[in-house]
Amino acid sequence: MTFDIDLVMALLEDAVLAWDTPAVTIISQRDGDPFKVLVSCILSLRTKDTTTGPASLRLFSLADSPQKMLGLSVEQIEEAIYPVCFYRNKAGQILEICRELVEKYDGKVPDSIEELLRFKGVGRKTANLVVTLGFSKPGICVDTHVHRICNHWGYLSTKTPDETEFRLREILPHKYWLRINDLLVTFGQNLCRPVSPFCSICPLYDFCKRKNVVKNR
């Protein structure tokens, strides 16, 4: 069957209704604050949503702006965000970013990918997520789920998430740029899992070439 991205995205929209929304998206929907999106995205790296959400809420209850965050010690931040993965490193990173935001950006998170990439530890995934969720500006956030699933489909053939992002910028209709990450993260966490995806019950079975899928259920 020909790969119809419009139909695939429509099927995804229906499928994800059965599952929880990603934690960073929930935070962005609740507050619409780019700073909270940035910090929660940092916390989410290598960390499950069930840990990211509560950790973010604990931290923001103590400090919800760069200025207030600088009033906390690194130990206080560590305690608030534990047990996110690499919590000690992330606590120091958050303070460093807050210091730079206050000193160079008047305490406001920049709204461009290029500026966000200047911050230590902020990669393209985080920068795109802040731009899309925090500012509703065009961007394509590509994490391991987006990279893996788009390649499974055969929609593209890339070797890294960065390659996937730039290829999607060429072929993915603009109307899906803001949604593809949310959809595929949710889809990848629940059905199209990294190890042994549930292909037998997948609504996209007829569209997917299952490239590099070694074992499935």
Return d(Cα 200, Cα 99) in angstroms, integer: 50
Domains of the chain: 5-20+140-201 (1.10.1670.10), 32-135 (1.10.340.30)
The arithmetic mean of pLDDT across residues 28-36, rounded, is 91
Angle at CA 177, nearest 5°, toward 60 and 97? 30
pLDDT of 12 above 80: yes
The arithmetic mean of pLDDT across residues 22-39, rounded, is 92
**66 closest CA partner among 90, 44, 88, 34:** 34
* Preceding amide of 83 cis, omega within 30: yes
pLDDT of 1 above 80: no
pLDDT of 30 above 90: no
Q: Write down the residue that tokens 């911050």 correspond to.
A: 119
The arithmetic mean of pLDDT across residues 135-146, rounded, is 94
Q: What is the pLDDT of residues 33-50, one digit of tens each?
A: 999 999 999 999 989 999
Return d(Cα 78, Cα 76) in angstroms, integer: 5
Q: What is the pLDDT of residues 105-140, one digit of tens each?
A: 999 999 999 999 999 989 999 999 999 999 999 999
